[in-house]
Amino acid sequence: MRFAKIETPVGVLTLVAGDAGLRGVLWPGESPPRDADAADHPVLAEAERQLHEYFAGARRTFDLPLDLVGTPFQRRAWLALATIPFATTISYGEQALRLGAPRAARAVGAANGRNPVSIVLPCHRVVGASGALTGYGGGLDAKRHLLDHELRVNG
């Protein structure tokens, strides 16, 4: 595995790639896996480019190969995040309905909490049933920043 650190408006993110694709977007304070080396990798370069475009307001979706490691349910929940439109939020219950598991809102929340490629698979777009911001790996300030950014870009 390879990793690279990039400066963003939400802090220094660490990108992690395996041979099959992007494996992680880590928040400030999170360390890359011990077996990862700081080295160039085409997936890391492309992820950095697309994240910079996102933060510049020029990208609304990501087109990267992903190397997601998780249970089948987690992977389904994570991939479903990519279907949430830019500058839109849904509840955990709505995400569970979309997955065909209407009573699995808590399981969806737990899966989203383990989303290894946040921002790329936008778990920040999932909020509580009341519309309140709830837990986020990068912290609620980062979640608020990402949602506000998307609303500004969307005009």
pLDDT at residue 155, rounded to an integer: 80
Tokens of 114: 């383990």
pLDDT at residue 50, rounded to an integer: 98
pLDDT at residue 105, rounded to an integer: 95
Write phi, then psi, for 22 (nearest 5 degrees).
-70, 130
- Strands 2-8 and 126-127, by their bridges, are unpaired
Closest Cα partner for 5 from 147, 96, 16, 53? 16
The CA distance from 69 to 118, in Å, is 14
Mean pLDDT of 129-154: 93
Residue of 13, 64, 120, 123 marked active site: 123
Instruction: Give all domains of the chain, ordered by start, each with its CATH number.
Output: 2-55 (3.30.160), 72-154 (1.10.10.10)
Q: What is the pLDDT of residues 98-110, one digit of tens each?
A: 999 999 999 999 9
Query: Letter for the amino acid at 135?
Result: G
Is the pLDDT at 135 greater than 90? The verdict is no
Q: What is the pLDDT of residues 109-128, one digit of tens each?
A: 999 999 999 999 999 999 99
Categorize the per-residue pLDDT at 37 as very low, low, confident or very high, splitting at 50, 70 and 90: very high
Q: pTM (2 decimals)?
A: 0.95
Contacts of 123 (CB under 8 A, 6+ apart): 78, 81, 112, 115, 136, 137
Q: Indicate if 123 belongs to the active site.
A: yes
Q: What is the pLDDT of residues 76-95, one digit of tens each?
A: 999 999 999 999 999 999 99
pLDDT at residue 45, rounded to an integer: 97
Mean pLDDT of 130-144: 90
Mean pLDDT of the chain: 96
Helices 72-81 and 105-113 meet at what angle, rounded to 10? 80
* DSSP character at residue 126: E
